[in-house]
């Protein structure tokens, strides 16, 4: 199959609608990281994503006498835009099935190309199942987002352009969801130059391809991350897995904070704001360069998409500093005595730039403050922690604590003495009307809610923090009740951020 795919890439019809995007030198990043860094600007495509390549190549291959049936796909955004634009260019009807949680910006982006939009399900898997039902009803051709040879070939033209524009390339880092871009790019580049190293990059919480290669089978993830929604795939393709096993040199997993830091880097370099999945490539390249101390190599990264919901920028800004190792978050105990806070700020923190400071007395002999400080990397952070402990302060490092970053930093205010037997849980909610009401409707009235926190980030899903008053002898019954509710949850009662600050 690989040889036939290589030929399909050579004759792919993507340029009827897609562009040969620029491979842009990144002088700031190159200087900072000691390598020649290049950015493949797929964010400059007509739909601001590489997905137009595969969609058009697949749809253009449909015989003219079958085009009146139209095409249909399931998509959370970028693939749907590619299918809609391709169908309009070729004069075909199109249906795009999207989850009900899809942000309005993505729905409008698909609608502007004239496709009929069907909203179904809370997530992509449910939308995909509904799409399959519509295929039988409508008779339209299904356009798979990644597990189709012609889609893979269309995406493979990205690799073709990289070799044409930078034949001396040493490393290519590729964002991975279902694996269509990775598979097509890897086949083309490795067929011409096997010495080029190709690495797939995935979020830590959406690493279906790395797990599947490791286990030599298509793994189905129980849950996928909600931040980099463009690569939030529970299961990779049959074709894409087989190609990745033969052609890809390895995989890198990166955190949400590292992705946010990469978004900031790309903005500083290009003045372009990419979506989280669009920054994956550079986030992985940074991690790899740091780990392997690469120097004087030609490294290509891919801005795979720029369909960013503006509402998410606040979240990105909050996380970018920690992702770059330039901010640490701490919970620090202060004795409640006159002058303690002043002494801490003027003497212990003298010369340090404070990024965040949350404090409230709670009527006890000691209090905890939530503190953000600028640091110059992990070594500087370690020296700071040692100094604080040497000075007798009790310190909890919360820099990698998701609960602290997602919720607690926004709600520091002391403990509630009346909430004696309290159990804390974080939930993942679909961002659709009545999601909260539906959740509360299935929560039994046996347990009182004593804490609630939610912030919208403009994503398909949101994280909610809830505390319940649960007697010790009821905890097993309560957990069983939560298990029967169709919302993913994590028990956070023992999290130090909650214990110390809430």
Hey, which residues are catalytic here?
51, 304
34: Cβ contacts below 8 Å, ≥ 6 apart: 289, 294, 295, 296
Interatomic CA distance for residues 286 and 39, integer angstroms: 13
36: Cβ contacts below 8 Å, ≥ 6 apart: 25, 30, 296, 297, 298, 299
Interatomic CA distance for residues 412 and 368, integer angstroms: 9
In this structure, the strands spanning 171-175 and 197-203 are parallel
Rounded alpha-carbon distances, angstroms, from residue 169 to 42, 264, 298, 365: 18, 25, 5, 61
Vertex 176: Cα angle to 193 and 182 (nearest 5): 25
Vertex 128: Cα angle to 84 and 456 (nearest 5): 85
Rounded alpha-carbon distances, angstroms, from residue 183 to 94, 199, 502: 26, 11, 47
b/e sequence 370-386, b meaning 16+ C-beta within 10 Å: bbbbebeeeebbeebbe
User: Could you tell me how many helices (H) and strands (E) the chain has, helices first?
Assistant: 19, 18
How many other CB atoms are found less than 10 A from the CB of residue 103?
A: 21
b/e sequence 83-101, b meaning 16+ C-beta within 10 Å: bbbbbbbbebbbbbbbbbb
Interatomic CA distance for residues 41 and 209, integer angstroms: 24
103: Cβ contacts below 8 Å, ≥ 6 apart: 309, 311, 431, 458, 459, 460
54: Cβ contacts below 8 Å, ≥ 6 apart: 82, 145, 146, 148, 150, 151, 152, 153, 154, 155, 180, 184
Q: Any alpha helices (H) in 71-192, and if so which ranges?
A: 78-89, 104-111, 124-138, 149-165, 180-192
């Amino acid at each position: 199959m690989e040889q036939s795919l290589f030929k399909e890439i050579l004759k792919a019809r993507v340029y009827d609608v897609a562009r040969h995007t620029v491979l842009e030198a990144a002088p700031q990043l190159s200087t900072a990281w000691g390598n020649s860094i290049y950015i493949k600007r797929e964010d400059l495509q007509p739909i601001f994503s590489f997905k137009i390549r595969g969609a058009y190549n697949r749809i253009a291959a449909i015989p003219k006498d079958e085009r009146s049936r139209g095409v249909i796909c399931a998509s959370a955004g970028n693939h749907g835009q590619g299918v809609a634009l391709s169908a309009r260019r070729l004069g075909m009807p199109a249906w795009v099935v999207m989850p009900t949680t899809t942000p309005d910006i993505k729905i409008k982006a698909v609608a502007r190309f004239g496709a009929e939009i069907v909203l179904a399900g809370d997530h992509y898997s449910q939308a995909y199942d509904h799409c399959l039902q519509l295929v039988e009803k409508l008779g339209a051709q299904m356009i798979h987002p990644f597990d189709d040879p012609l889609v893979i070939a269309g995406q493979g033209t990205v690799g073709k352009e990289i070799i044409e524009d930078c034949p001396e390339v040493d490393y290519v880092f590729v964002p991975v969801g279902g694996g269509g871009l990775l598979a097509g790019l890897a086949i083309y580049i490795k067929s011409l130059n096997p010495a080029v190293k190709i690495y797939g990059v995935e979020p830590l919480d959406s690493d279906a391809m790395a797990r599947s290669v490791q286990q030599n089978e298509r793994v189905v993830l129980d849950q996928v991350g909600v931040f980099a929604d463009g690569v939030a795939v529970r299961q990779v393709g049959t074709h894409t897995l087989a190609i990745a096993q033969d052609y890809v040199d390895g995989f890198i997993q990166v955190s949400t904070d590292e992705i946010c830091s990469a978004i900031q880097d790309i903005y500083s370099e290009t003045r372009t704001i990419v979506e989280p999945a669009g920054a994956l490539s550079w986030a992985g390249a940074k991690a790899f360069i740091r780990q392997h101390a690469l120097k004087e190599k030609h490294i290509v990264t891919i801005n795979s998409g720029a369909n960013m919901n503006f509402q998410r920028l606040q979240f990105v800004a909050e996380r970018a500093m920690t992702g770059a190792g330039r901010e640490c978050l701490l919970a620090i105990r202060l004795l409640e005595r006159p002058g303690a806070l002043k002494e801490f700020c003027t003497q212990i923190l003298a010369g340090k730039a404070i990024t965040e400071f949350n404090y409230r007395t709670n009527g006890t002999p000691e209090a905890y403050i939530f503190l953000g400080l600028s640091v110059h990397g992990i070594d500087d952070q370690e020296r700071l922690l040692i100094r604080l402990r040497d000075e007798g302060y009790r310190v909890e490092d919360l820099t990698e604590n998701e609960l602290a970053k997602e919720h607690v930093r926004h709600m520091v205010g002391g403990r509630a003495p009346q909430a004696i037997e309290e159990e804390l849980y974080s939930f993942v909610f679909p961002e659709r009307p009545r999601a909260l009401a539906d959740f509360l409707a299935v929560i039994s009235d046996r347990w009182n809610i004593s804490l609630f926190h939610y912030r919208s980030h403009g994503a398909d899903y949101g994280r909610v923090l809830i505390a319940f008053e649960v007697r010790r002898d009821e905890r097993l019954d309560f957990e069983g009740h939560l298990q029967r509710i169709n919302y993913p949850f994590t028990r956070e009662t023992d999290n130090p951020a909650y214990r110390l600050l809430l």
